[in-house]
Structures are given as C-alpha cells and as structure tokens.
Chains A and B, each alone.
Chain A
Amino acid sequence: MESLNIFIKSIFIDNMVFAYFFGMCSYIAVSKSVKTANGLGLAVIFVMALTVPLNWLLNEYILKPGALGWISNSLGDIDLSFLSFIIFIAVIASFVQLVEMVVERFAPGLYNQLGIFLPLIAVNCAIMGASLFMQERAYPSLGQATMFGLGSGIGWWLAIIMMAAIRERLEYSQIPAPLRGPGIAFIITGLMGIAFMSFLGIQL
C-alpha cells in the first residue's frame, strides 16, 4: 500500500517539473512537438525507473554511514556518503551509455526515433534529482525506491507531453513578440504548476 502511495504521490503531488523544476532545460527545449516530447519522456521513464533502484542498492550497501558493516564489523563505522554525487552520476552516465548500445543493437527502429535524446538524458537533472531525493528521503525498501523512480519518470513524461500539446496549439495564437518561445513557455508552466497544486489537498 505504501508503495502505491509513493507512486501516485510522485506523479501528481511531487511532480518533478511542477514542484521541483527538475529537467527544465530539456523540458523547454524539446517540448515543441508532441512526438519528440513523447520519445524523450519514455526514455526518461525507462532510465529513471532503473537508475533509482540501482543507486538505492549502492547507497544502502556501500555509501550510507555504516553501510559497509555487511562485509565485516570493523568497516561498520565508515561513512562514504560524500562520494555519493560522483557514484550516482557515474552510474547514470554509464547506464545511459549501456542502454544506448543495447537499444541500437536490438531495436534499431526505436533507436532512430529516440535519436539524440538518449545521450542527453545523462545530463537531465530530473534523473540525478530523483536519485538524490531517494537518498535524502531514505526510502526503506527497494520496492518503494523503484516505485518512486517509476512514478517520477511518469510525472515528467506527463508534464512534457502536456506542454508540447499546448505549444503546438500556441503556434496559431497571437503572442506579444518578445514573449514568443521560452517566455510564454515559462508562464504556461507556471500556470500548469498552479493547477497541479490542487492535488496537494489529496491525503495519502
């Protein structure tokens, strides 16, 4: 039950884009058409749902204060948490590289669709942010961490395709010249964020 709550919460209430502004750069840059936005969104879901549990395992058994206790008692008081940034980003970057090679080998069609987006995911702050939040909130089990990763990815995907759909319609509207492009995109995201805040009332 707890896992389901975390899942729903990370999609709607703690939405990566509207509540924490994660992955804004690619969110603004790639939301010009629904098709490409969908491709990037799906890639983000996939990578996030796998890197968060992977980093959870590393955090639990290597990085956390006292985590090395499972090897021998004498290592029990070592605190490696200062290494977590570099380990997390290394896991994410190498995982993205791995996914890229696997997808290229076994699903060339999908690979062509995703194109340049796969390598870009390594520097999408939403992915790194999810891992850091996982560490900060200290989810107690692998299942909950996975649900959090999956839910955050879906929340990000939802945000970017909604934005892309709105921006496709905006092509035909009269916008003050200096606001065209990123300016109006920010203001719309702000308004969508206010709409998403109505989910805050849900008790989970």
Chain B
Amino acid sequence: MKALNSKNWQYFLGPLSKDNPVVVQILGICSALAVTAQLKPAFVMAASVVVVTGFANLIMSCLRKGVPSRIRIIVQLVVIAFLVILVDQVLKAYVYDVSKQLSVYVGLIITNCILMGRVEAFALGHKPWPSFVDGIANGVGYGIILLMLGFVRELFGSGSLWGFRVVPEAWYIQNGGFYANNGLMMLPPMALILVGLIIWVHRSSNKDLIEK
C-alpha cells in the first residue's frame, strides 16, 4: 500500500476545510477559545493536540478488535489520558512558561471532543494507517483555526505577534500617537464572536454546509 494513496489523501484534506473539526463538526471549542489570546500558546496547544489525536487514533484502531464495545469509553479515556500525561510532562520540561500559561487546558485535551469524536467516528471502523492520517489531519484542521484566532487576537489585542512588537511604540496614544490596543480582543467573549465570524465566512464559501 502506498503511504498516501488518493483515498488517504482525501482523509487528510477533508478535515482541513470542508470537514473542519472546529467550524463544521463543532468539536473541541473550549480550548480553541481559551488559549488563543496569544499566538505562541495557541501554536503549542495545536501541536500537542496533533500529537495526541494522531496517536490516540492509531492506538485505538490497533485495539479496535480486542475491546468489547461496553467498556470502550473507559479504554479510550485511559489511552488518551496516558498520551496527554506524556505531552504534559514534555511541555513542563521544555517550554515551562507556556505550560504554565496553558494551565488546566493541557489536561483538558483528555476531554477535548475531537479526540473521542474521531476515535468513535473513524478509528473504530478503519485500519491503523488511515486512522493515523485522519487523527493528524483533524489535529491540523483544529490547529489552523487556533492559529487564525491567535493571530487576530494577538495582533489587535496587544499589537504584537509571537511576543514580538508589530505596531511601533511611537504610534500609541500615551507616546503621543493615535493608536490604542483593542482590549476586547483579549477577553473571552471576543473569541466566541470571532469563531462565529469565521463560521460565517467559511459557510458563505461552502454553500452546501448552510443549514436550512
């Protein structure tokens, strides 16, 4: 079997836009909103989720014939929790400041609906390799939305990107300029409204997703 034949390629491309986990399947919203006030934590979170979704799908797909369906939820939670603990320990070891900023949201990857949703909907019915591709793709689709939100919120909310200043200091009102940061961008409600707007734009260009 070729590593990425056309079917697997479809599994990979689907979640990036047409079947995006955040704006179409409405999964994994909690963390998408909470960690995106700045670009850096958003990126770290997205990378962690890609790793966990990919491997959770892979492991559950390998186990799918041996696990009775009555106890599958517990088994899924144990597998996912195990992966998340690994990710959490790695983050604490290498990027401690970001890990502090993400606080409880790293632990909440366990209950991120993308994971359970993709394992239930895909990995339990497919072979390991396509499941792995599907997991990675859904993680990346989620990451794209996180980065978009992080970009807009950090740029307009604090005038910087990835911690580097983009809007010159001299432009600010307190330095005699004309510019002020939009404080609302840093607050939770604005993240919700931005996701609403992304859904609006996305559905305008994909007419078949519009609800009657």
The smallest beta-carbon distance between B185 and chain A, in angstroms, is 12
The smallest beta-carbon distance between A134 and chain B, in angstroms, is 10
A-B contact count (CB 8 A): 141
Partner of A178, one of B84, B103, B210: B210
Is B108 an interface residue, CB under 8 A from the partner?
yes
Is A187 an interface residue, CB under 8 A from the partner?
yes
User: Are A193 and B200 in contact, CB atoms less than 8 angstroms apart?
Assistant: no
Partner of B29, one of A19, A24, A180, A181: A24
Is B18 an interface residue, CB under 8 A from the partner?
no
- Taken together as a complex, chains A and B put the C-alpha atoms of A132 and B82 apart, in Å, by 16
Is B116 an interface residue, CB under 8 A from the partner?
yes
Partner of A191, one of B34, B104, B189: B189
- Main SS of the interface on chain B? helix
Is A139 an interface residue, CB under 8 A from the partner?
no
Partner of B26, one of A25, A84, A191: A25
Which positions in A face B, CB cutoff 8 Å? 18-25, 28-29, 82-86, 88-90, 93-94, 119, 122-125, 127-129, 132-133, 136, 176-187, 189-194, 197
Partner of B189, one of A18, A94, A129: A18
- Max count, chain A CB within 10 A of own CB: residue among B31, B73, B107, B212: B107
Partner of B103, one of A21, A119, A125, A136: A136
Chain A residues near B204: list those with CB within 8 A.
178
Chain A residues near B78: list those with CB within 8 A.
86, 90
CB-CB nearest 3 A-B residue pairs: A193-B189, A190-B192, A178-B203
Given contacts A82-B85, A128-B111, A193-B192, contact A93 B199 (CB under 8 A): no
- Taken together as a complex, chains A and B put the C-alpha atoms of A160 and B108 apart, in Å, by 20
- Taken together as a complex, chains A and B put the C-alpha atoms of A85 and B30 apart, in Å, by 17
- Main SS of the interface on chain A? helix
User: Are A181 and B113 in contact, CB atoms less than 8 angstroms apart?
Assistant: no
User: Are B113 and A85 in contact, CB atoms less than 8 angstroms apart?
Assistant: no
User: Are B110 and A177 in contact, CB atoms less than 8 angstroms apart?
Assistant: no
- Taken together as a complex, chains A and B put the C-alpha atoms of A177 and B202 apart, in Å, by 12
User: Are A183 and B199 in contact, CB atoms less than 8 angstroms apart?
Assistant: yes
User: Are A179 and B187 in contact, CB atoms less than 8 angstroms apart?
Assistant: no
User: Are A129 and B108 in contact, CB atoms less than 8 angstroms apart?
Assistant: yes
User: Are A25 and B77 in contact, CB atoms less than 8 angstroms apart?
Assistant: no
Q: Sample 19 A-B pairs with CB under 8 A, ordered by A number.
A: A21-B191, A22-B30, A22-B108, A25-B29, A25-B30, A85-B81, A85-B88, A85-B107, A89-B111, A94-B74, A123-B77, A125-B111, A132-B108, A136-B104, A178-B201, A180-B211, A186-B199, A191-B193, A194-B189
User: Are B189 and A190 in contact, CB atoms less than 8 angstroms apart?
Assistant: yes
Is B148 an interface residue, CB under 8 A from the partner?
no
- Taken together as a complex, chains A and B put the C-alpha atoms of A182 and B188 apart, in Å, by 17
Chain A residues near B107: list those with CB within 8 A.
84-85, 88, 128, 132
Given contacts A25-B27, A136-B103, A182-B26, contact A190 B108 (CB under 8 A): no
- Taken together as a complex, chains A and B put the C-alpha atoms of A183 and B210 apart, in Å, by 10
- Taken together as a complex, chains A and B put the C-alpha atoms of A128 and B107 apart, in Å, by 8
User: Are A29 and B188 in contact, CB atoms less than 8 angstroms apart?
Assistant: no
User: Are B82 and A24 in contact, CB atoms less than 8 angstroms apart?
Assistant: no
Partner of A20, one of B28, B34, B112, B189: B34
Task: A123-B73, A128-B111 given; name 11 further pairs at CB < 8 Å.
Answer: A20-B188, A24-B29, A82-B88, A83-B85, A93-B77, A125-B108, A132-B108, A178-B202, A178-B210, A179-B199, A189-B189
The smallest beta-carbon distance between A116 and chain B, in angstroms, is 13
User: Are A186 and B189 in contact, CB atoms less than 8 angstroms apart?
Assistant: no
Chain B residues near A85: list those with CB within 8 A.
81, 84-85, 88, 107, 110
Chain A residues near B77: list those with CB within 8 A.
89-90, 93, 122-123
Chain B residues near A190: list those with CB within 8 A.
189-193, 196
User: Are B196 and A24 in contact, CB atoms less than 8 angstroms apart?
Assistant: no
Chain A residues near B152: list those with CB within 8 A.
none
